[in-house]
Structure 1
Amino acid sequence: MKVEECDGLIKPTAVFFGEGLPKTPWDSAVDKSKDTTLMIVIGSSLQVSPANSLPDVALKTGSELVIIDLMSTPFDTRAILKIEERAVLVSEMLEKCLDL
């Protein structure tokens, strides 16, 4: 989408396939993955790089992994729990259980 007055390009803050991730948020995600004791992956097949490397970062530092997704992932056998259900359904159930 372009701005008519200046012919400038309007770009959303989303990262599209093939684009690199912004360095600061990516570094923060890696650091948080190293420091966590439990990583919960919700609604991802863990097929898209580089985000699919974060569970491995967490596991290498002793974290436990929970995966909530209808599809199988490369990390299913390494997770302490795999819930094969729609992410929105599990999220709603968790909200009710935790009174959020």
Structure 2
Amino acid sequence: VLVGFAALINQAIRNTDQAFRIGGDEFVIITQGDVNAAAIVCQRIIDMMPKHSELTEYNIQCSLGIAESLPQQHAENIYGRADKAMYCAKAAGRNCFRISAN
């Protein structure tokens, strides 16, 4: 399932984006652009989920969080804000994304 989801991510991102598995079932995608560009990538991932039989077979869902990099901010802060946004997406019913309030 992780390999299938990683393949989906690689299909969904642009050649200017980068994706990393950071552990377990968590991935980080660094997108070029602002939160609107990241939202497009997130929506593309959500839209592609039903087209991957290995994910639908096991009823795999995803929750995505977006955080924009701010000047003078440590990477841990960006990750923490994205993580909180992801948990908001989970609480909203999954298969969606949320954008972090700076």
TM-score (norm 1): 0.26
Higher percent of residues as helix? 2
State TM-score, norm by structure 2: 0.26
Q: Indicate the structure with greater strand content.
A: 2
